[in-house]
Structure 1
Amino acid sequence: MTDLSFFHAPRSVAVIGASDNPDKIGGRPIRYMSALGYAGALYPVNPSRPSIQGLPSHPSVEALPEVPEVAVIAVAGQAAVDAVATCARLGVRGCVVMSSGFGETPDPDGRRRQDEMLTTARRAGMRIVGPNTQGLASFGSGAVLGFSTMFTEEPPADGPVAVVSQSGAMCSVPYGMLRRRGIGVRYAHATGNDADVSAAELATTVVADPDVRLLLLYLEDIRSPAAVEELAEVAARRGVPVVALSGGRSVGGQRAAASHTGALANETRVVDAFFERLGIWRARNSTDLTAAVDLYLQAPLRPRRDGADRGLAIVSNSGAICVLAADAAADHDLRLAHFSPQTRERLDAVLPTFAATANPVDVTAALMTDSSLFGKVLPVISADPGVEACVIGIPVAGRGYDIASIVADVQAFAQDGTFPVAVAIAQPEVGAVFGEAGLAVFDDEATAVASLAQVTRHAEFAAAALGRPRLSARRPATSARTLDEADSLAALAGLGIPTVAATRCADAAEAVAAFDALGRVPVVLKGCSAAVTHKSDLGLVRLGLADADDVASTARELLGTLARNGFAGSVIVAPMVGAALEVMVGAHLDPVFGPVVVLGAGGTTVEMIPDVRVLLPPFGAAEARAAVASLRMAPLLGPVRGEDAADVDAWVDAAVRLGDEMTRAGSQVVSVDVNPMMLRRGAGGGAVAVDAVVLVEGGVEP
């Protein structure tokens, strides 16, 4: 990956297809750079005009007094391809191709022209942003190599936030949201088709800037996980939080992403796991992308203090807001802090006797007559070791309140930097005063609590991500074959994963012999064929057989069903495994991310009502155990009505073993589906795979 910082502060810029009209696409870069004080040489290129917006115009790039470091290309079709070729031949370092009609369209000629452009640039070592890009904007240097209308609607101001997006709209939208809130934006980059320079690659250069403190990222696809891993590592070294929005989470969204950028979106659960692994927070929509920006800028991300019993403190001059904030905390699984006895004593000493000093703290309407109450309460809360975040709700203030004094007290509390502080204020004119003091202000307690939940969890993600190894380079083989169930179970046993004692039987007599060998305990009979992976669909599973004659007749019936459907096969006989929870664990090779492990609730409804978590190996037992704890079924795993807790360690061990196998050099396993795995209760109870499908690379045994 080359250094792309020359795009941010180029020594010289040529605008090919420059327009004298400052509102035209070819005119806006010149207008913006002239207005923002870009200090480099700016060369309009247009053979039809002697001057462009007061600057001398040049008939061609060859006619310029120097080779520009960067060229902005605002001509269409083949003319854009030819302009790229000229720039490459002359030694231009980078081109920003704003023109559309290339790889983002279904037209094969568009794809051909994009490939031609890319080949020409690569031969010369020139980098291309685009095509089909809104362009790049670096407000620290004034180098606006793009045409966004939003820069006119919301005037630029340099600041600590960077926005990098594949989509032009999803660059402009967060930029506009931030500027309307008075937050400065240092970079607003849109990369378009990502034919060469990807959004992740450009963002890596952006987060290396010491003046950037937060990155907002929009990706419509992830073609190179390694580029995003590099971005995350650079951001982590600098302590820059990354909040990412990835489009195409639904089937319809995937189709839209394909038509818009020429690339399919990635499956949402895998992307969730990928971002979490890297310490990146995944936003769900454009509002979510910017909602917590003020909190991120308030102080560096910090994982929760040492100890498990940490939580949210709530302070307000309204009992109702205290209740609603507590409800919002429950909605986001935020624990309320339990104040120490010393904290309670100190609060009792400074608050009126009728005030509530447990958490939430209601200072009551006495704040109107004593504006120092927050100044007395907040330092006490700051010193409590059980607090990891605080929301301050002020629903009513204004005339009669000493706003300046209250703001000063809250500001001192927040600037202490011990933990994030959000202020919920319903009155815009009052909230503006708090915002001007650098405080994170929200319209209501619900959004304030949601943002606090985000930054505290993001801190945990980021801390856990430090030092994690890169993802495996394994990808799906060109061909694979399915093992039948007997061979699948044997393959799992070879990996050290406990499996049910299944016996392959060619006929009814062998099935009865297997039944006898098991001591005539109740057994399961299944049709066994590599061609049938969903056996229950054909009625090839029979449970609880306890009689030799039933075993014999069922074996004949299952073999007959296989034959009638054109499948060669056998039957397997295995003992019933009861008194256990049905869970599942599986793994496969994702074409983009490589090895993926899935664990969750098992049984026949796993696809209809999925309760699963995705892990990207390599990972250890602690990560797998945390994934299990986050499942909706997690409460069922603990002691239930006198029964022992489930042996989660056995389940976790199976997941780790699968992850290790999927990343092992030389492994031929392509996919594993264990459902159900019977998870027993009690320490050492274990977990047993009773049904499995394994795929291996074509023609080779695992």
Structure 2
Amino acid sequence: MSVGLDALFSPRSIALIGASDDSTRIGGRPLKYLRGSGFAGPVYPVNPRRETVQGERAYASIVDLPTVPDLALLAVPAAATRQAVEDCASAGVKAATIFAAGFAEMGEEGKAEQARIVAAARASGLRLLGPNCLGAADAASGYYGTFSVMLDDGFLTPGPVAIVSQSGAYGSHIAQLARNRCMGIRHWITTGNECDVDVAEALRWVVERDEVKVVMTYAEGVRNRASFFEALDIARRRGIGVVMLKVGRSEAGAHAVGSHTAALAGSDVVFDAICRQYGVYRARSTAEQIDVAYALSRAGVPSGNTLGIFSMSGGLGIQMADDGDAAGLEITPMPAAAQAELKALLPYASPVNPVDATAQAMTDLPLMTRYIQVVLEQGGYDMFVAILGTTPALPSYSARLAEALEAAGDGNGIIRAVTMSAPVETVRAYEARGFLVFEDSVALTRALGALVTFRGSFARAAAATSEMPALPAPFTRTGALSEHSAKALLADAGIPFPRECLAATPDDAAAAAKAIGFPVVLKICSPDVPHKTDVGGVLVGLKDEAAVRAGAALLVERALAAVPDARVEGVLVAPMIGGGAEVIAGISIDAALGPVVMFGLGGVFVEVLKDVTFRAVPFSVEEAHRMIAETSAAVVLKGVRGATPGDIDALAETLAALSRFAAANEAGLAGVDINPIRVMPAGEGVVPLDALVLLAE
């Protein structure tokens, strides 16, 4: 558990340094909110120029307080912040929130001053939130350590949702949107410049709270990947859904991130893959983030991914079915007996799925109730949607329609939802009856698809009991590596390579080829010629000793012509290996997220299609299987048009071994390519043919 964060996010006593008598100012709003919310602990206004602040006794400095508070809210200008932090540290305060801007986001001078503030705090163990943040809140305790104007409309209603945002403005925005959907928010945290506590550490703190079931997170970059991964893993194991909006997808967006919070944004495609790895739902928009959090906080996860649809319009039902299919939901037909019963009730209706009761249902609400009962009780669905359109907005139908739906039953654990356009009070009435309410079918089906995704992630975390093998011993090599040295290094880590021989002379090469068996492949072996094909450093299909001798001499000649100072170790002699499917695997070091393993189709496919995926390291064989399944390689490896399936199990073992190698050697690596890897038929393993290992400076 992160040290000192209870005092920061759920304090028992608070000092407000820079307290203002004006309740509309940054130094006045927190005091107004804390008193209005009924915060039970002592709150000490600190202002050396006033005897009272908003009718309460003011103190000249933090050393004059009757007790040492858990938390200090610093509502002072940037120029006075360091002194305030030093005073807090000297007094033994556990945590402080810095509201002021004007630090690392303003350039080198601001970075230096921010660093001095951090140094002053760390000397005493004082934890810092911010600077340049809107603070935090705990709705259950009435703690509102913020000056956000969102509270002018009222305080947060406690519930199962937490918000953790690097941006204070965005955090306030989604809190307001969540309130508009009647979502209960327990914890609300904004981290700003993250001079100390970052979004990862705050995220970990909230997912360790028993009352939290959903976290909406906004991130512009990740500063501490180990803490970030740990938080995501804890959330998944505890069954807490993380719905994240991560910005910086585009080049323009990434530039804006750097100027806004001075955060390093890692590769977006890597971030996307790691979200899948840890079961995070990455929202594509603010609206989707709210929709998914709303659905998860109210309904939880379904038992499966089947969806039953009830409609009074064939066209709307078909649209919902299309949208559900696009979201990965199964629109399975109703059982034959149930279809027959529905046909008997209404001969000209469509009883399959979507179940279309036509407009007749609106004139006979008991009939509609029976239709829905059959779908809920006999359909075997995990989720159910009724498409109601604008009918609930009609005063003559609104209450009766809701009663007819309620009379159909709760479906014994089936997640129930409706799509409709209606006034807010009508929406609230349907929600009170246990329905998720959406206006748009795409938004609804995407949210339901997200619930299914969370279900799978939580189930995998609960089932994960086996320990991964120990990491290999880290290597001690330095300097550039030749292909032969790279393969030896990777082989020691459990990655299999075919038999080959490093020959120092043409005669040695001929002898090696004879021992291996013709035909053979010759490759120049030099740490200074990493891309052999660029210098004509590869010869294939050599069928006799004479050809090998001549070829070996030619390769050395070509290499030295292209790179005169190249250190030539000799010529690699390897068997010609055909068959199987070509894939590629490698290791790259992401600027923010550290070493990751890459996998995809090999050959021209990787350059043209860029159909690759990534995983943070280390990972299990099971995760490697999921990694493979994300790419087009999975389709090829399962056997196309009668082809023999590939040895996917052996490939997964190889990827997992590569991940352990990357984890053990992060400090020494700049990158690894194993391309191509031939995936042989099932049971025959994998054959990596080439390897490049780049060492860190």
Residue of structure 1 in register with 2:282 after alignment: 282
- The AA in structure 2 aligned to 1:334 is L
Deviation at 1:495, TM superposition (A): 4.4
Q: How does 1:278-357 map to 2 (within 5 A)?
A: 278-302=278-302, 304=304, 311-349=306-344, 351-357=345-351
Tell me the alpha carbon deviations over residues 261-318 of structure 1, each in whole angstroms, 9 at most, x when there is no partner: 33312333443444444433233333332121221122333553xxxxx522222211
Structure 2 Cα separation of the partners of residues 67 and 495 of structure 1: 54
Residue of structure 2 in register with 1:446 after alignment: 442
SS in 2 for 1:104: helix
Give the aligned length: 689
Structure 1 Cα separation of the partners of residues 203 and 653 of structure 2: 37
1:104 aligns with 2:120: no
Q: Scaled by the length of structure 2, what TM-score is found? A: 0.88
Residue of structure 2 in register with 1:362 after alignment: 356
Tell me the alpha carbon deviations over residues 214-234 of structure 1, each in whole angstroms, 9 at most, x when there is no partner: 221223333334433553465
Residue of structure 2 in register with 1:525 after alignment: 522
Deviation at 1:135, TM superposition (A): 0.9
Residue of structure 2 in register with 1:58 after alignment: 59
Structure 2 Cα separation of the partners of residues 495 and 204 of structure 1: 33
Contact 1:161/1:215, CA 8 A, preserved across alignment: yes
- The AA in structure 2 aligned to 1:602 is G
1:487 aligns with 2:485: yes
Tell me the alpha carbon deviations over residues 510-561 of structure 1, each in whole angstroms, 9 at most, x when there is no partner: 444444445432x433332222323333343344455766655544443223
1:203 aligns with 2:199: no
Residue of structure 1 in register with 2:68 after alignment: 67
Contact 1:422/1:452, CA 8 A, preserved across alignment: no
Contact 1:391/1:448, CA 8 A, preserved across alignment: no
**CA shift in 2, pair 1:315/1:475, >3 Å:** farther
Contact 2:495/2:657, CA 8 A, preserved across alignment: yes
Contact 2:133/2:168, CA 8 A, preserved across alignment: yes
Residue of structure 2 in register with 1:84 after alignment: 85
Structure 1 Cα separation of the partners of residues 218 and 473 of structure 2: 25
1:558 corresponds, among 555, 559, 564, to: 555
Tell me the alpha carbon deviations over residues 387-429 of structure 1, each in whole angstroms, 9 at most, x when there is no partner: 2333332224244874324324545778556243332224556
Deviation at 1:456, TM superposition (A): 0.7
Structure 2 Cα separation of the partners of residues 68 and 664 of structure 1: 43
Q: How does 1:181-580 map to 2 (within 5 A)?
A: 181-232=181-232, 235=235, 239-302=239-302, 304=304, 311-349=306-344, 351-384=345-378, 386-398=380-392, 399=394, 402-410=397-405, 416=411, 418-427=413-422, 431=427, 433-435=429-431, 437-466=433-462, 467=464, 480-521=478-519, 523-546=520-543, 551-564=548-561, 565-566=563-564, 567-569=566-568, 570-580=570-580
The answer for unaligned runs of 5 or more in structure 2 is none
1:689 aligns with 2:688: yes
Tell me the alpha carbon deviations over residues 34-77 of structure 1, each in whole angstroms, 9 at most, x when there is no partner: 33333333333223334433334333223344433321111123
Tell me the alpha carbon deviations over residues 435-458 of structure 1, each in whole angstroms, 9 at most, x when there is no partner: 454522222211111111111111
1:654 aligns with 2:654: yes
Contact 1:36/1:142, CA 8 A, preserved across alignment: yes
Contact 1:295/1:422, CA 8 A, preserved across alignment: no
Contact 1:375/1:406, CA 8 A, preserved across alignment: no
Q: How does 1:577-656 map to 2 (within 5 A)?
A: 577-587=577-587, 596-607=596-607, 609-656=609-656
Structure 1 Cα separation of the partners of residues 245 and 409 of structure 2: 28
Deviation at 1:624, TM superposition (A): 1.9
Tell me the alpha carbon deviations over residues 5-60 of structure 1, each in whole angstroms, 9 at most, x when there is no partner: 33445343222122233332222212322333333333332233344333343332
Structure 1 Cα separation of the partners of residues 212 and 676 of structure 2: 48
- The AA in structure 2 aligned to 1:71 is A
Residue of structure 1 in register with 2:36 after alignment: 35
Contact 2:247/2:253, CA 8 A, preserved across alignment: yes
**CA shift in 2, pair 1:493/1:412, >3 Å:** farther
Contact 1:422/1:441, CA 8 A, preserved across alignment: yes
SS in 2 for 1:368: helix
Q: Scaled by the length of structure 1, what TM-score is found? A: 0.88
Q: Judge which range, 385-394 or 424-433, deviates more.
A: 424-433
Identity %: 34
Contact 2:471/2:661, CA 8 A, preserved across alignment: no
Deviation at 1:82, TM superposition (A): 0.6
Deviation at 1:98, TM superposition (A): 0.7
Contact 2:222/2:265, CA 8 A, preserved across alignment: yes
Deviation at 1:460, TM superposition (A): 0.7
Tell me the alpha carbon deviations over residues 327-360 of structure 1, each in whole angstroms, 9 at most, x when there is no partner: 22232333323444444345445x4112222122
**CA shift in 2, pair 1:151/1:541, >3 Å:** farther
Contact 2:601/2:633, CA 8 A, preserved across alignment: yes
Structure 1 Cα separation of the partners of residues 246 and 177 of structure 2: 18
Structure 2 Cα separation of the partners of residues 235 and 382 of structure 1: 32
Contact 1:277/1:465, CA 8 A, preserved across alignment: no
Contact 1:391/1:449, CA 8 A, preserved across alignment: no
